[in-house]
A and B are shown apart, each in its own frame.
Chain A
Amino acid sequence: MSQKVVEAIQGRFPDAIVSTHALRGDDTVVLKREYLVEVCRFLKDDPEMDFKMPVDVCGVDYLGRTPRFEVVYHLFSVSKRQRVRLKVQLDESDLEVPSVIGVWKGVDWFEREAWDMYGIKFAGHPDLRRILLYEEFEGHPLRKDYPQRGYQPLMPMPTLPTEV
């Protein structure tokens, strides 16, 4: 990953950054939620950054810590060969983050998965449905307070929508 990117975000959006850290060369920027889309757009469009590829979006549950949840974005720039990890911290009471689907189309399913697994709402996502689980599933299974052997109520056989 690249320290240069972290410095560029710091220079351009000094108010947006909560903290930065790096481990084994993975540079991480923790952002304030309201600046997320702006920073992402800058990272994609700036010719020196050129992060054209969204690699991964996922949620993490740090049960027992405040803020409890994190949304993690991994970005990659093919032309500059640099990577960066962005994070947004979310409290349990206000689990909503702006969707960056307007910046990269490819975050579509990744955001749906984070919603499915953690119940994190992505404001502005056009089709925020469950993706790996079924609609009637109760709860969000990757949360730390969801039991390892959780049971779900039986559902009737689904039918195809025909005439409405």
Chain B
Amino acid sequence: MTSPLRKEDDHLHSEYMQIAMGPSHPAMHGTVQMLLTLDGETVVDVDVRIGYLHRGFEKMAEVCTYNQVIPYTDRLNYVSPLCNNVGWVMTVEKALGIRTPERSEYIRMIVCEMSRISDHLTSIGAGALELGGFTPFLYAVQAREEVWEVVEEVTGARLTTSYTRVGGVKADLTDNFAERWAHAKKEVERLIVDVDKLLTRNRIFYDRMAGVGVISKEDALDYGFTGPALRSTGVDYDVRTYAPYLLYDRMDFDVPVGTNGDNYDRYLVRIEEIRQSFRIIDQCLAQMQPGPIKVDDWNIVLPPKPAVYNTIEGMIAHFKLIMEGVKVPAGEVYGYIEGGNGEVGFYVVSDGSGRPWRVKVRPPCFALMQALKPMIVGGLLPDIIPTFDTINMIGGEIDR
């Protein structure tokens, strides 16, 4: 019986080699398996297998109140959890038909942009590491640490932030936030310059990245690409400018686009987006005014503690919100924001009760990962590494 791996028309009677890359492989961060068929070092075929981090987010969400889902959203994209927090509550608020006070929207934009910075830093740093650049990785992680220090001060946690609530945010920014951020920003900007100098014009890095993992504009759209990966092909789709949510319409920032749709362009887009995020945060801090951070409606947000302990209305409102949750009118909405990797969408079907009937997450890298096959087939085995990096697959959100 001949092997299915046997090459046709090959006088040496050689066979293709099948190897499993992952799920526990140093470069397959996020736990994914690629079942590769190789001809020497050339990738002939690949079967990308995901699901190793599947934990039933959508099933769990069906028995939680809308606010109880927030901690689960931290674990979706665990390098930019705040974007998911914001995306989820904004979807619920869309279903409720409310907008939160202006200050809370500024705060949400600030934390989203901080998350985006840490997301891009992770992607760039890990990408450099796996191509052999250990120093830029340390710089990028140090810069991310600076951002996470601020995130920790604001939200109380580095990663499991759960910062937003339906109807506002958990707490206001810390009093010294502006100074803390100014310090962190200075450090991150300095480190970004270092990373930039080490990588952008580095011959080895350039040769590994440029012209590798190319996808055309048409294919990118067809595969449902969003975020930096789509922008690297030249499409300027960014949810922040195409459908401005929060107060992004008041912000002045540029959307960087690439031309080639290769790994190098995806890297450059990310580097530039970090700088644009700084601009957005600066504008938010300059524009925001003191004010409430939650809507004034006890059917949606918890009453203040003195009201809970001293008034019957406050206590009942508190009890109803904890036990039954926010009542969302029956119907279905799709809410979406620009996450670190692209469009993070939540499709929520409500039956009118305090718990969602159906939650579907639209993770951006789900669409990106299905296009990994055309991006790496025909290329070399080592080229999988940079392509997989700039796709920036996040296991938590792809497997849910």
A residues with CB within 8 A of B: 23-24, 26, 28, 52-56, 58, 60-62, 72, 74, 78, 81, 83, 85, 104-110, 113, 117, 130-134, 141-142, 146, 148, 160-164
Contacts and interface: CB of A to CB of B under 8 A. Distances in A.
Given A52-B222, A74-B334, A132 B51 contact: yes
B59 interface: yes
B349 interface: yes
A162 B1 CA distance: 13
B222 A160 contact: no
Nearest to B96: A24
Range class of the B interface residue count = 35 or more
Contacts of B397: none
B347 A105 contact: no
B332 A160 contact: no
A52 to B, nearest CB: 4
B51 A105 contact: no
Interface stretch (B103-111, B319-327, B366-374, B375-383): B366-374
Interface of B: 1, 3-4, 18, 20, 35, 50-51, 54, 56, 58-60, 63, 94-95, 97, 218-219, 221-226, 235, 237, 242-243, 331-334, 336, 343, 345, 347, 349, 357-358, 360, 362, 366-367, 369-371, 399-400
A10 to B, nearest CB: 20
Contacts of A54: 222, 224
Given A60-B358, A81-B242, A141-B59, A104 B224 contact: yes
Given A24-B95, A74-B362, A142 B51 contact: no
Contacts of B334: 26, 56, 74, 83, 85
8 contacts: A24-B97, A55-B224, A58-B360, A60-B358, A81-B242, A104-B223, A131-B51, A146-B59
B51 A53 contact: no
A61 B279 CA distance: 44
